[in-house]
Amino acid sequence: MDHIPNHRPARHDVDREAMPPVAMVMALSTFMCFAALDTTAKYLVTIGYAAVFVVWCRFLSHAVISFIAFQGWRRADMYRMQNVPLQILRGLLLPATTLFNFLALRDLQLAQTVSIFLSVPMFVTILAGPLLGEWAGRRRWAAILVGFVGVLIVVRPGTEVFSLPIIWSILATLTYSIYSIVTRKLALHENQMSMVFYSSIFAAVLMAPPALVYGQMPGSALEFALLAGLGVLGLGGHALLVKASRLASASKVAPFIYSQLLWMIMLGFIVFGDVPDGWTLLGASIICMSGFYIMNRERTIARKARKLTAKD
């Protein structure tokens, strides 16, 4: 959100340094925020709130907080867009992901949805070839295939486990993977403030009509606080992620996404009394190992590319 400090070491230096403890705490807190966001959304949709209304509240509060945090009344650069079509596409993909996820959360355990969602690195690796020209090698394809085995174990097609909520969760994973690719393309030219603000304001405007039709007034102060807190948790998680990424390289921060599985299992048990079955845990473990390998492999390839560039 702030400009990168001038004293920040070069990327190759950051990669070689040990990850500062404060960056680890921020990374863990990031995914705790995202887990708390899903937990809050699941609670709201299970007590009767329409998923589309919960999504709207999440992005409306996010947009308002972003406007205040960025001082939108005095920052003209927040409204500049270099690539309008991609900004709009990104602004459509994020609410679609959130809506699919919240629909899945209505019936699935938190551990189930996050296990499926953790396959995002695999889908991004697949899509990066045709969309970005970043083709995966044989090792990463092998890891992707192993990861898909884990996904199949979690969703178990052909059984009663494989139902509409599972399909919603898979759609959330696919749309978020495309969202990640679009974000990577935009990050080269767009400023961070405009990307954060427009992704929330587009979503708030898009979801407003159905939200006003299917929405309802909060039944208590607690429910009002939970609806408003969705944006706080979302923006807070992204802010912590940015701060962590400034203290350590993205390759060191990225694996902490798998801590979200632990947060989700813990919160699912505390709030809903859910205990994931052995198959879900087995599939999630395979997905995590596959994702770890893919991240490590991409880090190794990037390091070799930097060395070649330095020699030239």
Q: Is the pLDDT of residue 305 over 90?
A: no
Please classify residue 126 by burial: count the beta carbons closer than 10 Å to its beta carbon, then call 0-12 exposed, 13-18 middle and 19+ buried.
Answer: middle
**Amino acid occupying residue 233:** L
Q: What is the pLDDT of residues 246-255, one digit of tens each?
A: 777 666 777 7
Q: Return the domain boundaries, the chain.
A: 21-311
pLDDT of 301 > 90? The answer is no
Q: Could you tell me the two tokens for 252?
A: 């060191």
Q: What is the pLDDT of residues 12-51, one digit of tens each?
A: 444 445 667 788 888 889 889 999 999 999 999 999 999 9
What pTM, to 2 d.p., does this model score? Answer: 0.84
pLDDT tens digit sequence for 120-158 = 888 888 888 888 777 777 888 888 888 888 888 888 876
- 309 — pLDDT class (breaks 50, 70, 90): low
Distance CA 41, CA 12 (A): 39
CB burial of 44-63 (b: ≥16 within 10 Å; e: otherwise) equals: bbeeebbbbbbbbbbbbbbb
CA separation for the pair 281, 95 (Å, rounded): 28
Q: Determine contact, residues 169/104, Cβ cutoff 8 Å.
A: yes
Q: Is pLDDT larger for residue 158 or for residue 55? A: 55
Report, as an integer, the average pLDDT of 248-270. 84
The total of other beta-carbon atoms located within 10 Å of residue 297's CB is 16
